[in-house]
Structure 1
Amino acid sequence: MLELYLAGSVSQTIERARALSTLFDRAHHRDYDGLRQLCSQKLSETLAGLRQLQSETIVDEALQSPRRLRAFRRHCDRLEEIETIGATALATVQPEAEFLNAVVRSICGDIAYPLIPPVVSNLSTSHFYIRADYNLLTVPLLEGRYFLHLADIYHELAHPLLHPAYNDRPVLEPYRKAFGSAKIALAKQTAASILEAKRAHAVRPVQDQFLVWGRLWQTYWLEESFCDIFAALTCGPAYAWSHYHLAIKKGYEAFEVPTNRIETHPADDARMRMILAALTRIGFAAECATIQAAWENLMDHRSERAEPEYRQCYPDHLIETIVDLAHRGIEAIGTQLAVPGALTPWAERLDMAWQVFWQQPDRYNAWESEHMRLAAGAMGIRRSYP
């Protein structure tokens, strides 16, 4: 019975994959050539696997069918991924994407980004997100019309630098080694905290909490921290303001410490501490003082303050170690860092946008609209939308 099902379903899935290939073979803007090629390669590999299942001779169903069922499920999962990520991105290209693709290419050129610039799609239903395995950066539909969050592009550009798809790129080795050193530092920090809790005769749940934080640091937070530091060092103060902006719009408690649930990003305040520490290291101390004052004012208005557990989860010395290692790793791969008074073109545009936002909020919308058009013109993009 199961083999009858597989015979029909494998055949149907092959036809679905062949139909999907017509989208990748269709003409698209040259910005999407890389995505088309990547998706076509993944689709060919999936089709080969499905055809192997289709042609396999069945000798012993009891032995073969469970394995074939698992293999079929894997191919279906891969086909669904190609369709929902790559094909959907190509099928829903918006006019705004041409501008954002030009922005990403310009930023990558500004900072001597060591990989091929990702392709942009307006598919995000929340905020900026990158799929490094597809080299696809997704942003909200209208984000290309506004300056204030574009600094988050720099953060997303850092994720592929640590993705397994680029394990064999020699140019990234110093950055990856720095990340590895930070993981070792985190492991030592976790072990030291647990030992100290045992010596203080803390109850077992307290010791277990350090293990939970250690796992979150290792699994999620360290990479996000390296991306924050990369963005701060390459973009400059505009990235700190972008984090301030995002924390107000989407953040929760800035000093939140998870207990028994997964949080994929560090607490907003810990992120700001790392961003400001990175900026201070490269000469933006005055700007950091202004940002820090604004952040503290926000915390006062929200009546938020750090509890002892927060400092245990995000100790100063650990923050300093991570910033130091990330800074050295970024410098070693030859990325162009932000320089006070001599920012790269897009970093300067974003910095100016935030200055106008704070100094002339009543004029900001008109200023932003005009300077978006100027930025598009400078990159040879004719904007046909407001």
Structure 2
Amino acid sequence: MLEFKQVTKTFEGSEKPSVNNLNLKIEKGEFVVFIGPSGCGKTTTMKMVNRLVEPTEGEILVNGVNVLDQDPVKLRRSIGYVIQQIGLIPHMTVGENISLVGSLLKWDKGKREARARELIKLVDLPKDYLRRYPRELSGGQQQRIGVLRALAVDPPLILMDEPFGALDPITRDGLQEEFKKLQKEVDKTIVFVTHDMDEAIKLADKIVIMNQGEIVQVGTPEDILRNPANEFVEDFIGKDRLLQGRPEITRVEQIMNPKPITITEESTLKEAIQKMRETRVDSLLVVDEAFHLRGYVDIQMIDSNYKKRNQVYEVMDTEEYSVHKDSLLRNTMYRMLRRGSAYVPVVSENNKLAGIVTRASLADMVYDTIWGDSSSEETPGCT
């Protein structure tokens, strides 16, 4: 648990405090996003937690212990920290970068290497990446390693300062989804600073909106979108984001088709073509026997491989992106439009296929919102 008690920070030479009498309690396992205009005090607030900035007044308690009563070096090694610039050390391998804090804590080599192997599985990168150097990785892959380094010594608390801000929109979008899923798996308390309201809405369990060094509103994304505290919050969120029309429809699960058209990875290409013909679709979601999403296969993949391959798993694309059933519907819509996708698979825990959202279902929802109930029915499957 993290708690701020009457915390104030006034920098030398400044008449006004950067953070003024801040009181906030963050529970274990919460994903809390600080957001506000430039100079509002959000980054200063976060940096006071690991004493990169020293508070002028008040107490900051981590699991009941005041950070000012702890050795700052030991404190920082016990708290994960991820920044936008990543800060990987170029002459160290990926594995050495991940286990850097473990080295500082005098972990033996075997323990460090075992932890690096364990962590890299979490972000779906091959183990041989541990032997590579940062320059051999893409920007998104480097940022994944920065996150793993913060997780390396299993800290209960992780601070993240605009970690995805320098990435292109598609990479950023994918990493946001990946990290939200990862946070649920590792059960860490996250304090995250961003200037992007869409990112805050997408990731946060709780949003803290700040202005001029003070907290203006604290609440879940849905609470803030439905009930902005004042005109400043309304303007900062943006009128287009406020939940209007049909505010009760906010999550993917509420609009998804729970019966997508699927095929197993062990099926033959002939069976896949037959199923496409029967259901009048040009692609199928591929699942294993336990209904975990494995990827997708479309008519073009089959046509180009029909004489060389026989089974679905030999030609399918395993890079199919998906969204969790609890994801915000508006974020899913943006992802589909940005990628030009006709549909997106919906998964539950352990990547189990739960349904599908198509452009047709989104169109129906927009139609119902503007003109009332629609009598059209969506044909289940991929279009």
Same structural fold, with TM-score higher than 0.5 when normalized by the shorter chain: no
Q: Which has the higher contact order (CA 8 A, sep 6+)?
A: 1
Identify the TM-score tier after normalising by the shorter chain. Answer: under 0.3
Tell me the TM-score normalized by structure 2. 0.27
Q: Which has the higher helix share?
A: 1
